[in-house]
Amino acid sequence: MTTPTTTDAVVSVGWLVDRLDDARRDDPSLRILEVDIDPSNYDAGHIPGASKVDWKTDLQDSTTFDVPTEAAFEDLLGGFGITPESTVVVYGDMRNWFAAHAYWLFTYYGHEDVRLLDGGRDFWKERDAPLTDDVPDFTPQSYTVADRRRDIRADQPDVMASLDRETTLVDVRTPEEYRGEILAPPGWNEGVQRGGHIPGARNIPWNQVVEETGCFKPENKLREIYGEHGIDEEEAVITYCRIGERSALTWFVLHELLGYGDVRNYYGSWVEWGNTVGAPIEKGQRASIKRESNR
């Protein structure tokens, strides 16, 4: 599988296989983290040297339903033997939904060198790459957050303000969620009272950017997808989904792979917007704004 761009933000299976000896060493220069919707996946076999991250307890504050505090994030990374200078590779199931959320969180808290494994857990297994049930035990390190990247996060006031500005909203949920026919993907906790979408949002489902293997589509195809919806890299973009994890994957594509300069992930996403009294919504399918073909 060809890497879609020249960015270091995404790494291939082969790239990581070649570095597994480094990842297993008690040396903080390279660390691997597995982030799954189903944490038991890790116990059934994981990449050698990878540590287990529980997105529900590790990547959010259960009291505030917000990102973990700086102190909690520092303790988490230090406990995994990570320093601010570490190269961190994240991967997971569900074609990297929650791994992309972890990548976004690392970037939000200013970690300089974080990468996403192309294809995630399932593609690694399909390539018969090494797996183990050994749990690594690394020497804890001291981790300090140097900066917070507030420019990659949108909150509800930002989204509300965008309704009257030249900001593009990208709803990455399924068309059924977007139209308000369902409140969450089948089998998922709904957690929201109203269906529909934020007024003016364009529906570009997250799965349009990945192949069946979970690997990202080539750069020209990715640009074509967003170009067909009239979105270019000069625009300010806010992505959202239900709880911010699928939209983190789209944020990754736009910001990290395609180089869009002003892309923010709406952390609260539809769970916050759909439960907010007075927040405007639309239902049904928005009229297409795709560019006309020259053919």
Residues 139 and 167 placed together within one structural domain of the fold: no
Inside any domain, residue 144: yes
Closest among 110, 27, 19, 112 to 70, alpha carbons compared: 110
Looking at 241, 243, 248, 271, which residue is catalytic? 241
Neighbour count for residue 161 (Cβ, 10 Å): 11
The answer to whether residues 39 and 131 belong to one domain is yes
Nearest to 137 by CA among 50, 47, 73, 71: 50
CA 179 to CA 282: how far, in whole Å? 8
This prediction has a pTM of 0.94
What is the rounded distance in angstroms from the CA atom of residue 120 to the CA atom of residue 10? 10
Three-class secondary structure of residue 11 per DSSP = strand
Structural tokens at position 7: 């960015």
Q: Are residues 132 and 207 in the same domain?
A: no
Strand order in the sheet with 153-154: 153-154, 263-266, 236-240, 167-171, 202-203
Tokens of 17: 């296989």
Q: Please enumerate in sequence order all residues whose Cβ is within 8 A of that of 200, keeping only pairs 6 or more positions apart, or say none.
A: 163, 169, 282, 286
Distance CA 236, CA 274 (A): 23
CB 102 within 8 Å of CB 164: no
Q: What is the pLDDT of residue 215?
A: 98
Q: Residue 68: its pLDDT value, please? A: 97
For residue 3 the two structure tokens come to 């890497």
Structural domain contains residue 55:
yes
Could you tell me the residue range of the domain that residue 46 belongs to?
10-148
- One pLDDT digit (tens) per residue for the chain, 295 residues: 333 344 689 999 999 999 999 999 999 999 999 999 998 999 999 999 999 999 989 999 989 999 999 999 999 999 999 999 999 999 999 999 999 999 999 999 999 999 999 999 999 999 999 999 999 999 999 999 999 999 999 999 999 999 988 899 999 999 999 999 999 998 888 889 999 999 999 999 999 999 999 999 999 999 999 999 999 899 999 999 999 999 999 999 999 999 999 999 999 999 999 999 999 999 998 644 443 332 2
Q: What is the pLDDT of residue 211?
A: 97
Map tokens 């909203």 to a residue: 169
215 is catalytic: no
Are 106 and 210 found together in one domain? Answer: no
Q: Do residues 68 and 24 both lie within one domain?
A: yes
Number of domains in the chain: 2
